[in-house]
Structures are given as C-alpha cells and as structure tokens.
Structure 1
C-alpha cells in the first residue's frame, strides 16, 4: 500500500524575509484548514492501473466509519456514499481519460483521507459500432449498429469513400442513417462511417460490390477478402532473417521476395517482447520491438511492400502474454489488489485442450511454454484490451490482416470472444484477413468469423497435427511422403486430401515457424514433389523464409537464415528458388489451380499413383503424384477426357512443370493415354483442346 504523509496545513504563504546581520528571519502566515488524519484509516483496495472499460467498481475499507457517510472525490467532482456497518464500501465510477479518486471521512474534528487512486482509460473514448449496408435494387441503405456504448455523446456521419469506381452520392441522411444509389460501373463501393465526439472522430467502413450478378453487400459471416483467393504467403521471422535481425534487412530483400512470386508477407510478432527470438512472449501490444528496428522500420517496410503490391499480415498473440508483461508482474506483486489479477486464467476449467494445462509458481495457467501465461477471456476488460490492441495496428499502419496465434486455446476457453473481435476489426477494415491458427477441419473457426485456418487434422490430443504429418518429432519432418512403408504413402495422402472435410479456406505448407525444415528429412526430389502438389491444391500456399533455398536450420534455433551481403538466390545451392518461383507463377497464371473444385480421378489400373482432377467452368487440370521411388505410369481413358472437354478430339495434356506434351489420338485402338511418372514426382497436366 502506498504511504503518503499529508501536510496538516491546507495553505500557507511567505509574508516577508528580512536580514538582520548574518541571520535571516522568515515569518509565515498560516491560514487554517481542515485537519487531516493519516491515510491508513481509509484504504482503497486497488492499485493504480490502466483500465479497459469506463465503468469501474471501487472497493475499500474505512476503519471506524461503519455506517457513516464518506465523500468520494473524483477529479473535480465529488459525491457521498455510506460505509457498511463493518466499514467496507464500494461505488462505481466512469473513467474517461485520467481519473484521480480518493475517499474522505470526517471524525472527531479531523478529516481522514485515503491515498489517491489513479485510473487511466487505455483507449480513445468511442463506442464499438458496426456499419451496416443493406441492398434493395440499385440503392444501398446505410445504418449504424452500436455494439458497445460509451458515456460520451457521439454522433455519426456517412460519406462515400474516395477511389470508388464511380460517384455514389449520399442522401436521405437522418440520425446515423443514409442512402446511396450504386452506379452501373462494376467494382467495390466503400462507405465511411464517422463517429464524432466533441472535436474527435473515428472512422469505420463497409462496402458493396456490383458485378454481373447485381449488387451484394459485405456480410460479416460470409464475405472473404477479395484478394485471399490469389494470396501466396511468405512467413518471415524478422529477428533471424539475416545476421542483422531487423526489418530493414527484410525490406532490402523485398525485390527478391517479389521475384519469388510472393504477394503476401506474414511477419512473426513485431510487438515488444521479453526474450526476443520469434517473439511470442509479448510485454507490450502497442509498441514495436526495438531489437528489430522499432516503429520507423516497420513503417518503411510496409511502405516499400505496398509499392510492390504486397499485402502485410501481422502475427498477433491474443492467447497469452509473457509472465514479464507489466500486468502479470503487477498481479504477482500486489495479488488480488492488482487491477490485473483477474486478467489471467487461474482455474482449470475443463475446456477443450485442458489436458495441456500447467500451473506455474505464481498460480498462472499456461499450455506448453512456461512463461507464456493464458489470459482470462471471461473478463470483459481483457476482451476490450485485445480489441483496442488489434484495431490500433489496423488504424495506425493500415495492415491487411492478422494471423491469430494459438487462437485454438482462446476459442476453447471462450468461443464467443472471437466473433466479437472479428466483427470489431472488420468494422474498421472489411477486407482485413483474419487467419486462425486453428483447425480448418472443424467448423468452429469459420463459425467464429475467421476467413481461413490451418491444414490440421481434427485430433485434439495433438493440437497442431498437420494433415500430411504422420508423427510428431521436434527435429525431424515425418510425413506421408517419407513414410517408411512406401506402399502405404498413396493411401495416406489420399486420406489426408479426401477423407477429412475442410470447412473453409486453409493455409497449406511444408514448413512454418514450428516445423523442422522439410528438406532435412526428405530428399530434393521428394521436396519438389510435395511442393508441386501443394501449389496445385485448393487453399493458401505458404513458404517459410529459407524454405526457398533449402535452409536446414530449425526455426527454434533462431539462427540467421540469409546474409546481408548475398542475394537469396546466391544462397540457393539446390535450385529451389527458381522452382518455387515457377510454382508461384503457374498458380497466379492458372485460375484452375486456385479453384475450390477437387476430386480424385480414378486410374484405370495403377494403384500406387494419385490423380487429382481440378476444374473451373473453362479450365481443366490433373495433378498426378508418385510418392514412391520407382517409376510408374498413369493411364487416362481418352473418352473420359473427351467428355469433360466437350467431346473434342486430339486433346493435349501439357505438363506445366516440364512443358512436356501428351496428345490423344482419336483412332487409338486401346483408347488410353499413357503418362510416364518418374519416381518421387508430381505432374500438373493442363488439358488443352
């Protein structure tokens, strides 16, 4: 508890000072004021704090004041309360900005006063709102859904955003509602909603799309970012990217990354961290790590990426903080007097994945990594804190999306919060990507509003089992492609692709920040085989930095991947950089490779090969995989090919990887088209008439 000695005199002033020889006489005129008692007679049971909701309940105890009237001073105002018979008291306050609170009580000619409590609201004084667009004919009706009110008075104003395909004037404005007529020009029409309080304002946004099918409004539960279908992601660990470990080093190689065919960069956490490294032990969600260059380097990195038409996704860590976060440390120091004591999970709640809980010496619950302690998402202030932190980076740096780390744990403990978070973020930027580090093989992430999830199985005992992974080993990559029994590889791969439903877009990968390098456990041919398959499937392909040069360092080792004095290509000794660049180029060029349509194309005889048919309304392609060392051959029935090609004759299958051409001959007696398949190979065959 803070100890403050209060001066017994309310005011004083010097009358005059005069010098007599070497002596100085100081005369004071004292004006009498109330006599104060020591502060420990009245105590407030809370420490100073940044708070994340305006409504706060203050509790305390007034020794010897049972049943008596006390005066609460809150900034420049005051009000009275009555203590309970045992001297305890409580009262609500609304915190807007900085609030200084104290409790006074008169007794026996003296006034007793508590220490001052200082509470500061952590975010701008505005409500949470959702801008709503509803379409009827050519007219869109714009309205406001206030999802969280705020004490201050707020008004609303609509405007058409700049850069729309054509002018769409706002009219019929009334109490936060407005209308706009959408022109015939195709495209996305954005509308800004301004929340205004005093001299401050905050922008929210929604949009409608006009195309050949008519006009459709943005729908939170259905609309995905329009750029997601073409995304090719490159995950970066800034601290290990080069020996310099800074964002400036990543910026310097953006041209090479763009040449690789990347259009989306996922940065591992850039927020202030205690231990450095990959950066998942956050100690400040509102500042950029100084060891990777601080806010100035992040701003320059984003600016340069924008010039290259790249999207920027930040890796955000909502499940836990570092135990060294000031809030956790405050809770350790002050116990339940700390405002942040209940910011953290302290109970074994029996939620899914609860078998992975551990408790540390301070009573915090965590999953796998001691020192990364779970937040309590049943606390509404924790929810509002995370919403404020996430919206901060969207508003300040105009990022394009988030990957939400370990959100499987957060969602297991409180499945309602992700819906609220996604709604708040997409009310600021509706095209924002919300990627869940969770299973695409279950419905829940998509029901919560996430746009995409990971290519993980439904196994809850193994939280993050990659669908192509057959066994977990921290240092070796054990997959369907190097399974010891070669004859079972095709069946395992088939099961991974067709026997497990995926409920929405998924991130597909061979490596990420948690996995050992693929090439360390597979040969080069197997690596190219798997990479080709990955880029030919539905989903969002992701490359982990260093994967494109065959880097063999484990991500957990945090060793430099590249060198400032060498290009990425110069460090590629195995030929993977041009190979991945070609895969990315092919995926960008051929819509059929990005299509959601996929089914197995059954072979006529051969069982050790897997053929995957991909199609759009106008394009057809086949991905054939031979996961075994021995060469084989796949046979297409020509009549079956002709049937999907509109009964055209003389069809040609072009291997997009090797440029080989395989042509059907109409008078072929056995009516089969033979495709040789080398060992450890994947062909992408494009059907041409």
Structure 2
C-alpha cells in the first residue's frame, strides 16, 4: 500500500486555469499555458499544483458543472496536453492535484439529460427527485422541503418534463448526484481511478460536505440562516468507502471542501486519515474581527484538537471563492508590499499544509471593479440581485459585491505591464486587475524586496526547516496586534513575530535559549539593521514581521 504522507511536506500552488496563461490568444487560460509557465512556477519553490476543474463543461460555474468526467474541456486543451503537463511536472518533482467535482454534475451531462426525460429513466435514481408539496405560495405544489441554494433561492427546481423537482445545492444547472445509489458511487470511483492512471497524484474534492443527505430529506431547522444539512453520517460512510476503494491502493491524496465543520466534527474526516488527508474549513473568513488575536485563537483551537489525533490541517488565506485576503485583512492601498509579505510569513510558518492561490505571491488585492457589469460570476451576481429584490440598500449591495464577489480572485494573472496584463494576445475572458501595470510578475523578478521574492524565501525556509513543517505550534502573544508563535521540533526552535496593524507597536520579546538570550534573524520584511534581535522590548513597524531562531 502506498503512502500519501508526502502531502504533509507539500507547499501547494492553486492554479485557476482559465485565468493563468492563455497560449493561443482566445482569451482563456489553458493547459498549454501552464506548460509554458512551468519554469516560473517551479522557480517560486512550490512542490505541488492544484488544477481547477478542467473537464468538459458548459461553464455556468466555470467548470464546477461537469458534462463529461473523462475529458478535457476544449477551451482548456486536450487530453494529450494534460498528459504532457503531468509528465513535465513530475520531471520537475511537482505533484498535481485534480479538482474533482463529486457532489453534482452539469444539467447538460448525459446522465441528467436522460434522467429528466422520464421517471423510468435508468439514470433517474442517480439524482434526487421528489414531488412538490402543497403551499400557500405554490398552489400547484412547491419545493419538497425548505433547503436553500448557496447561490440564492430554493435548492429545488421543478422539471418541465415530469413535473417533479430535482435537488441542487448550487445553481439549477448543477443537480446533486445521489451518492446513496451504489451505481453512482462505483462510477465516481471508476472515474477517479481513470485519472490516477493518467498520472494525477490526488484530488481536491469539491463540496464533499454535501455528499450524504439525511434520510427522508426533512426540512432543515428553522433557526439556520442557510437552511441546509452538511457533514452527515452518510457522507463519512461514502468517504471511507472511497478511501479503501481508490485512495489507499494508489497512495493518492484527498483534501475535502467541508464548510460548516468544527474542530471536533472535522476529526471524523481526518483523524488517522480514515477518510481524508486534510480538509478545507473556512473559520478564518467568519471571524468577528480580522486581527491578530482572532486568528491566533482560532488557529490554536484547531491545533489543540488535531494534534495527538494524527490529523492534519490546511492553511490558506485566499482561493477562487473569496475576495483576496490582502483587501479583506491587509493594507492594499498604502502598505501593500509589507502587509503582503507579513501574510506570506504567517501562512508559510503555519501548522498544516499551506496553499498559495495564484497571484497572492505578487501581492494582488481585489480586482478594482466598479460595477456589476465588470463581473461574470453568476453566483455573485445572483446574490447581488437577490439582495436588491429583498429591499437591501443598493449602495450596500454593490459594496458587498465589489468587496466579496468571487471574480475578485479570478482576474487574469498579471504577468507584465503589456496589454491584457501579458495574459493573452487576444482579449481576456475577464478584465485584468486594475493595477496590473505596476503589480505584475515581470516587474518583481530580480527585485530582492518584492513580494514574489519574499514568498520564495519563506517557502525555501519552510522546506529546509523541519520545525516549520512538523514542529509543535505554540501561541506566544495575547497582544491585540502582535501575531507571535513558536514552532519547535527537538532543539530546533523557530519563532514568528509580526505586527498585524498599520501602527508602530511595542512588545516584550521573550528570551531565547541561545547565546545571551538573543534571537538570530532568519528573515524579515523590512531591511534589517542587524542579524539578531535582543530579547525585551522591541518596536515593530507597521506590518513588520520577523522569523527568528535560537540556532
């Protein structure tokens, strides 16, 4: 049996394919573009790639609505392109994760097209169908229960062909698969094996927290803001079967998207890798105040629960579904470089496997869009229009879209100051970020103080230092603005001390175990005046961060 423990030493780079690099001028990033830019990726120092969905899709949700699981979307390339990418990535010691959309398909998938045509279709039970129930607002029958869609409205849509309703936790064009049906499970297992045979090293499992639905499909509790069931007992049963049937024989990694988990419920997925190698939870995006102590307290809560249970975590600040963290938590106006470097140090010294989302290593913030017309993401636009229909203040609804809309993180990669950010020789499918002429990859090469170079240095530091990968994690600070932790493995101790604010902050640095209690500076994000820092009172400049050691 092969091992997937390599994942615990990984630094993962998430590629949003259609926005990374366009090799043929059609305005859409593609697999050939990734091949062309492999050298740029490897020079950063990462050792694992996560590719966003690349299977055939009508793209109502940018590939998270699959119409053929054993294919490559024509606009992204060919199967031969993917196989070439995998071969070249492996030659450079890069492992590759596939974004596997397991909870739902596209409504254009042949399975669903057949299923909706007749109640007697052989694929009818591959999805969830139900008669409507009488209601005052739906005299001819309304949705079967009160479940909500993430993207607004009911999670049920009535089919014209048979009059029954089908379930979709996301867009109506993304019907949920019925994982209680053993035929569905076996087919999804077969698809996963097919991709592993092609050379894929593992999976990010999309929306895996919705695989198992409660028996009888009852109403969700009325007190829930978003009326849904997540992380059910049946979900765990399906994933244990998936691990034994697919993951263990191949030594393949699986990281699940599991919104709504707590440290205790997350252990059901990850303890001793009985189901998944790790999960994505989203606590950091729902903290009451984005400041040092909220993040430290949250990280401590997860670490204490996971450590000792042979469970593992992920660390990430941005992805394709969120506004960029530099705009949400940092300073993308006045101290962009220093705050971006600060977050790089925090992320890459965290316990768990760090995930870097494309563009954050440049210090990219939100897109700078001005109106709904700049957005293409249907989910964000549906929520915006629903807010207006519900009577929300128009200015407030627009402000929320501009700050949190998902396209903020999906703009074409800023390669250079050339037209279209050097992403394409045509017209990009989505407007480039407003600041690409000054914030781009080309401009940061050779600049020893650039955000890109700082990421590269911290990645190298992590990979060279076992304390940062596997050492104990100890919270060091209760100061409202100081993010300070100690990582340790044996006598090898590393400390991170940073100022999460725009102010000058004074803090009492503990003595080290080294010579005269001083600390050796491994890395800092301001030009250092000394190679060591004395214990005692120190004053940190805005967003200043130190990585220190006793050795």
Q: Deviations over 1:619-673 (max 9, x none)?
A: 11111232122212332343xx33xxxxx54244122223643365xxxxxxx53
Which structure has the greater CA radius of gyration? 1
Q: TM-score, normalising length from structure 2? A: 0.71
- 674, 678, 686: which one pairs with 2:541? 678
The aligned counterpart of 1:527 is: 340
1:433 aligns with 2:253: yes
Cα deviation 1:95-126 (Å, max 9, x = unaligned): xxxxxxxxxxxxxxxxxxxxxxxxxxxxxxxx
Secondary structure of the structure 2 residue equivalent to 1:510 = coil
CA contact (8 A) 1:539 1:594 kept: yes
Give secondary structure in 2 for the equivalent of 1:288: coil
d(CA) in 2 for partners of 1:240, 1:637: 45
1:449 aligns to what? 275
Q: For residue 6 of structure 2, what is the aligned residue in structure 1?
A: 227
Asked if 2 retains the 8 angstrom alpha-carbon contact of 1:614 and 1:620, the reply is: yes
Q: CA RMSD in A?
A: 2.9
In 2, the alpha carbon distance for the partners of 1:592 and 1:351 equals 48
Instruction: Kindly indicate whether the alpha-carbon contact (under 8 Å) linking 2:240 and 2:275 is maintained by their aligned counterparts in 1.
Output: yes
The equivalences for 1:580-595 within 5 A come to 580-595=455-470
Match among 605, 618, 627 for residue 500 of structure 2: 627
Q: Structure 1 residues 637, 539: closer, same or farther in 2, change over 3 A?
A: closer
What does 1:197-212 correspond to in 2, within 5 Å?
206-207=1-2
Q: Larger strand proportion, structure 1 or 2?
A: 1
In the alignment, is residue 661 of structure 1 matched against residue 536 of structure 2? Answer: no
The equivalent residue for 2:15 is: 236
CA distance in 2, matches of 1:296, 1:273: 18
Q: Is the 8 A contact 1:631 1:677 kept in 2?
A: yes
Matches within 5 A, 1:41-440: 206-207=1-2, 225-244=4-23, 245-275=29-59, 278-333=62-117, 335-346=118-129, 358-362=155-159, 363-395=165-197, 397-411=198-212, 412=231, 414-415=234-235, 416-430=237-251, 432-438=252-258, 439=261
TM-score, structure 1 as length reference: 0.57
Find the aligned partners of 2:87 and 2:510 in 1 and give their Cα distance: 52
CA positional deviation for 1:568: 6.7
Higher RCO (C-alpha under 8 Å, 6+ residues apart): 2
Q: Which of 460, 474, 485 matches 1:612?
A: 485
Alpha-carbon distance, 1:350 to partner: 8.1
1:399 to partner: Cα distance: 1.4
Rounded to whole Å, the distance in 2 between the matches of 1:468 and 1:277 is 22
Quickly say closer, same or farther: Cα 1:440–1:508, change in 2 above 3 A.
Answer: farther
SS of 1:321's partner is coil
- In the alignment, the residues of structure 1 paired with residue 32 and residue 305 of structure 2 have an alpha-carbon distance, to the nearest angstrom, of 38
**Residues 528 and 234 of structure 1: CA distance in aligned 2, closer, same or farther (over 3 Å):** same
Counterpart CA distance in 2 for 1:358 and 1:351 is 8
Flag structure 1 segments of 5+ consecutive residues without an equivalent.
1-205, 208-223, 458-466, 472-478, 481-488, 643-647, 665-671
- Residues 238, 267 of structure 1: 8 Å contact kept: yes
Deviation sequence 1:596-623 (CA, Å, 0-9, x none): 51112257xx664242121001311111
What does the per-residue CA deviation read over 1:519-558, in whole Å, with 9 as the maximum and x for residues that have no partner? Answer: 3443213332222111111011111112222344475375
SS in 2 for 1:324: coil
2:344 equivalent to 1:560 = no
Number of residue pairs aligned between Structure 1 and Structure 2: 424
Paired position in structure 1 for 2:322: 515
- Find the aligned partners of 1:423 and 1:351 in 2 and give their Cα distance: 35
- Does 1:650 pair with 2:516? yes
Secondary structure at the residue paired with 1:255?
helix
Relative distance call for 1:649 and 1:249 in structure 2 (3 A) is closer
Greater fraction of residues in helix = 2
Shift of 1:440: 6.9
Shift of 1:429: 0.7
Q: Determine helix, strand or coil for the equivalent of 1:612.
A: strand
Q: Distance in 1 between matches of 2:480 and 2:14?
A: 36
SS at match of 1:337: coil
Ranges in structure 2 where 5+ consecutive residues have no aligned partner: 24-28, 131-142, 160-164, 213-230, 368-404, 416-421, 426-438
Query: Which of 463, 467, 475 is residue 600 of structure 1 equivalent to?
Result: 475
- For 1:610 and 1:602, the matched residues in 2 are separated by 6
Structure 1 equivalent of residue 360 of structure 2: 547
| Aligned counterpart, 1:214 | none
Q: Answer whether contact 2:10 2:354 (CA < 8 A) is retained.
A: yes
| Partner Cα distance (1:684, 1:349) in 2 | 55
